[in-house]
Amino acid sequence: MEHVWVEAYIPYGNYRGSMRDNSNKTWIPMDGSFKQYNYINGIDITTIISFTTDEYLNQVQTQNPVHYYQNKIQIYLDANMPDKTIIDVKGYRETKEESYGILPSTLPYKTIAVLNHYSTMIGNLRATVSFTLFDPNIFSQVSYSISTIELAGKRMTLSYIPASLTDETLINSYNGYMYDVPAYLLNLKPVLKIEGGIRLTGTSTTMGSDQMLTIQFSAPDGTSEMVQKKLIAGTYYGIGINIQGVNENILGKRNYNLITNLTTQTAATLTNDDLIGEHLHILAITYFMANDKIFTSGAKIYNIANTRILSEGVTSFTLSVSYVFSIPKAVIPSGIEMDVGMERIIAISKEGNINKEKQYLEISGLAGSYHEHDIFEKIKGFSSVSAVKALQTASAMGIPVYKITNTNIGSILPLLQLSSEIMGNIQNAVNAGKEVIASQANIQIDDWIGAGYIIRNPVTGAGAYMISGGLAGGSSTKNADGWQIVALFKGAFAGLKDMLDVVVRRYIATAAQLEVGEMIAVAAKELAKAKAGYEEVGYCSGLVRRAYWAAGICLDQWSNCGQNDLGRKNNTTWDDSMGGVKYLYDLANTLNINNSIRTTNDPLVGDMVFFDNTTGPGNPLSHMGVVVTGPNSNGMVTFVHASRSGVQNSKMNILKSSDTNENDFIGNFCAKGTGDPACLKERGINGL
């Protein structure tokens, strides 16, 4: 098996477990990717409790399909295997640790042959991405290529700037807001930017006109894949490239960058790309993080080895264009949309079960489509639509939803009342051997009228999830949301800063919810072994750290996010007798933001919630979680928390804290229904 490792040139001659001097430097091979694990096998429950697309699409869901399936499995376990949880079904792994005390001079495995040494990775061994901007009006195109490694963690955007000084002057005459300029008077040119630097400039065109972006991915083995995105001149696009997966560390760095800019800079020192471009790019990688986490979670249920491969998605603030004789007359920001041209994973059954591979790809495809509306709703607060939501809405409205194959297309196609574009796509897909899931007619969600449909490979389960307009993604559904975007373009700095607290809180809650059904305990042990007792408290505080860092808030040195943590900045000290919960409680007290530690009847989304006595009487600050929904009219709050049995949603009634029917008690000390309020006591709710 071919493999790659690195070598470090370090002083090794006088090495005694530490570098004592600079003598006798030697190349030492290192391979951090090689790990051995202890596997705790899961329970194959897919043959007992099944997931079906028809069931999931039968009504509008508030859970992605993997969490929906997990909940269904847990209900079965509670009734038939009460000592088991979803973690037992999935199984998990723990890293086998070997502590040498010294840096080994050899690799941990046998090397048969060394084929090549490189000081840098040569070009033909690197995957590349090529961007081509094409103007169909004058048949002009320009291109730019870059290796994927150079894009890792970078912000990518495509936006439009004035084509000339005359156009810039014209915009200034309209108070600097280009969407007030009559479209036919203004010429713009597209610019592709990486971290704000222009890498490619296209030809100028009239605002509101169509252009085309082609993205081609080329692998070292010579294979390539291409996606195309229709552009509307004047639109702002954030481009998300998922190279090998997105986690809270990647997302946290981008959110940290945006938060830092908004809290330390001014409108005069920042560009639209630092603000609007960053915001759109973050939404794109949030989508990929949600997919990566949920795809991995689903893989454990089906016992699948899944691998993320190069993928691409574009988020944009959309424009509504009005025309006179096919010439753009006026352009107005109208909403936000996501177009995922390439979402790719490799799925291999560990059992060699092809049917499980198909089932896994089907549930993963549904999850990806769900996130195409859910991310906008959770982060932006915009009502949105995706293929999955459109089909669920059709079912809820009583509109028939059909599975169309080559055996029934002749009878079903005449029943459909859809656009000619969708009808043509259905016909072409079925002719190519695919199956299609589509509603009989359009549905309406707010101001959006259209349809969602799924084109699937009936053998593999892989598919495309489409909505009207040729979009492989999701879109906001209210015209009124466009005015929020208008305000953002008129004052990006003020607009983003005003909603900073709300958006950060939403990121915290979203990141926490994505971990439901996962085993944080293993990650907690690996995060920080330096502190005694961390392993015992790391389950719950480890989840909180992850969620906050995904939102760009680095709580402490054990959050795995570098030196910019709040704990060290504020000299918060660790109490070995109490652990991580007490540490974060003290940090919140030190910061004293939003009256940090408080007992309140109005907890906010993203707040930390602390509990006493969850492991026994007289154990203060023994547990914590993250608030994901605020109190309803009856005082009910939902929060996400982690324990040895995994991450789960629980409820807490802040108006009836001693009512055992209204609160999910945590830990083994107090069984639900004992009626003893001393078993669990809410300590306070904190917003950092």
CA separation for the pair 473, 605 (Å, rounded): 27
Answer yes or no: is pLDDT of 531 > 90.
no
Query: By the 8 A CB rule, do 215 and 227 touch?
Result: yes
pLDDT tens sequence across 4-60: 889 988 887 776 556 667 777 888 888 888 888 888 888 999 999 999 999 999 999
Q: Which long-range contacts (CB under 8 A, 24 or more apart) does 329-332 make?
A: 329/182, 329/183, 329/184, 329/208, 330/182, 330/183, 330/208, 331/179, 331/183, 331/207, 331/208, 331/234, 332/179, 332/482, 332/486
pTM for the full predicted model: 0.92
CA separation for the pair 29, 494 (Å, rounded): 51
CA separation for the pair 127, 435 (Å, rounded): 33
pLDDT tier at 496, thresholds 50, 70, 90: confident
The larger pLDDT score, comparing residue 86 to residue 19, is at 86
CA separation for the pair 202, 189 (Å, rounded): 6
Q: What percent of the chain has pLDDT over 90?
A: 57
CA separation for the pair 120, 328 (Å, rounded): 49
CA separation for the pair 129, 432 (Å, rounded): 29
**Mean of all residue pLDDT scores within the chain:** 87
Answer yes or no: is pLDDT of 364 > 90.
yes
DSSP 105-149: SS-SS---------SS--GGGS-EEEEEEEETTTTEEEEEEEEHH
pLDDT for res 22? 74
> Residue 667: which of 616, 618, 633 has the closest Cα?
616
DSSP 590-638: HH-TTSSSB--S-PPTT-EEEEESSSSTT--S-EEEEEEE---TT-EEE
CA separation for the pair 204, 208 (Å, rounded): 12
pLDDT tens sequence across 407-432: 999 999 999 999 999 999 999 999 99
The larger pLDDT score, comparing residue 107 to residue 194, is at 194
CA 217 to chain centre: 22
Beta-carbon contacts of 93 under 8 Å, excluding residues fewer than 6 positions away, are 37, 38, 39, 40, 522
> Residue 644: which of 27, 85, 61, 218 has the closest Cα?
85
Which range has the worst mean pLDDT, 96-110, 455-469, 638-652? 96-110
User: What mean pLDDT do residues 329-356 have?
Assistant: 94
CA separation for the pair 280, 282 (Å, rounded): 5
Structural tokens at position 318: 């959309």
The H or E element spanning position 534 is: helix 534-550
Answer yes or no: is pLDDT of 339 > 70.
yes
pLDDT for res 240? 96
Structural tokens at position 534: 């961390």
CA separation for the pair 234, 331 (Å, rounded): 8
List, in sequence order, every residue forming a beta bridge with 236; answer none if it has no partner: 317
**β 311-324/327-342 pair status:** antiparallel
Query: By the 8 A CB rule, do 201 and 190 touch?
Result: yes
